[in-house]
Amino acid sequence: MNIQDSFHPEQEIAKEAPCLQRSLLEGRSITNILLTGIAWLAAIIASVPLISVLYGLIVKGGHRLSLEVFTELPPAGFEEGGGFGNAIVGTLVTVGFGAVISIPIGFLAAIFLAELEPDGKVAYVARFCAKTLTGLPSILAGVFAYAVVVLATGTYSAPAAGVALALLMLPTVVLTAEGAMRMVPSKMKAAAYGIGCTRSQVIWKIVLPTALPGVLTGVMLAIARAAGETAPLLFTALFSNYWFVENGTAHVMEPIASLSVLIYNFAGMPYENQIELAWTASLVLVMMVLLFNILARVLGRKKV
């Protein structure tokens, strides 16, 4: 009797309670598994190109990696050895010119868009232009700088390349900096006004420092993109087989070497040595771009 009594209620509950077991054959759990699998597959496919490119570059270009390639000038036709030190310097110089032009303009434009007149007509037009410029084919940036700078100065040069690259960097700098500044909580700005800040003090002392990691991320991404560009350089920087700084003088208003143009030139040559160097140069360029991207992430993560 006792046993029956104590078991009876449990059995009743078991009958009425819904079954909580997972059923793999049910329609929605099959869909669930299928979609999860597809998402996994897509994620893996998406990372295949970068990994395979890196793998290919390391296999084909890695063995030529030595101090020599960083310090030597590019070899002529049948010459053995050589390197692309001047092209690395050239890439840094051209991107440097681009950064010097685009960062101040982009930064101030972002302040205007995010803080001064965020809803004005000028802001609307500027924002639309910046977004459109994001998709500008890079060769057009090159042609533009050719027409504006190269024809005017009568020579291919690093500043001309800088203008072309600045055109490509500008929208990234403006839009990410604007986004970062807009992320600054309005209650923080209210606090600054409440304590007696003028508008420029609010912007310089509160908005900019708070948004700085995000702004730097945008700058680094823009630099990373510009470092890999080839087309705009063909029209503006051309190429050079010599160092940017030679015998203590910088050859600013002369054609300048760059990694991407060196790769473009050497990859098409019929000489084994040059083709090998092109692979190595590609590896170095990818590593530089990767470095800027990692830097962007590190700076973006930094919090006060």
Partner 1 sequence: MNMNFSAASNVNASKNAHSNVVIDCNLDKVFYGDFLAVRDSHVPIQKGQITGFIGPSGCGKSTVLRCLNRMNDLIEGFRFEGNVHFNNQDVYHKTVDPVVVRRYIGMVFQQPNPFAMSIFDNVAFGLRLNRFKGDIAECVENALKKAALWGEVKDKLKASGLSLSGGQQQRLCIARAIATEPAVVLMDEPCSALDPISTRRIEELMIELKEKYTIALVTHNMQQAKRVADKTAFLSVEISEGGRTGYLVELGETSQIFDDPKEELTQQYIRGEFS
Q: Which residue has tokens 């000028």?
A: 122
Residues 268-297 that bind partner 1 (CB under 8 A): none
Q: Of these, 81, 120, 137, 209, which contacts partner 1 (CB under 8 A)?
A: 209
User: Residue 191 CB, nearest distance to partner 1 (Å)?
Assistant: 4
Q: Of these, 210, 217, 236, 280, which contacts partner 1 (CB under 8 A)?
A: 210
Q: Which residue has tokens 């490119």?
A: 53
Residue whose CB is less far from partner 1, 155 or 201: 201
Which part of the chain contacts partner 1 (CB under 8 A), choosing from 54-62, 145-153, 195-203, 273-281?
195-203
Residue whose CB is less far from partner 1, 111 or 130: 111
Contact (Cβ atoms closer than 8 angstroms) between residue 256 and residue 241? no
Residue whose CB is less far from partner 1, 165 or 184: 184
Q: With binding defined as CB under 8 A, does residue 124 bind partner 1? A: no
- CA proximity to 87, closest of 213, 228, 234, 262: 262
CA distance 62 to 35: 39
Structure tokens, 38: 């597809």
Residues 69-98 that bind partner 1 (CB under 8 A): none
Q: With binding defined as CB under 8 A, does residue 121 bind partner 1? A: no
Residues 162-191 that bind partner 1 (CB under 8 A): 185, 187-188, 190-191
Q: Of these, 192, 223, 233, 234, which contacts partner 1 (CB under 8 A)?
A: 192
Burial 21-49 (b: 16+ CB within 10 A, else e): eeeeeeeeeeeeeeeeeeeeeeeeeeeee
Dihedral sign for Cα atoms in the order 61, 64, 66, 67: negative
Q: With binding defined as CB under 8 A, does residue 122 bind partner 1? A: no
Q: Of these, 63, 117, 198, 204, which contacts partner 1 (CB under 8 A)?
A: 198
CA distance 183 to 179: 6
Question: Apex CA 215: angle with CA 212 and CA 217, to 5°?
Answer: 110
Contact (Cβ atoms closer than 8 angstroms) between residue 256 and residue 161? yes
User: Residue 206 CB, nearest distance to partner 1 (Å)?
Assistant: 6
Chain positions contacting partner 1, by CB under 8 A:
185, 187-188, 190-198, 201, 205-206, 209-210, 303-304
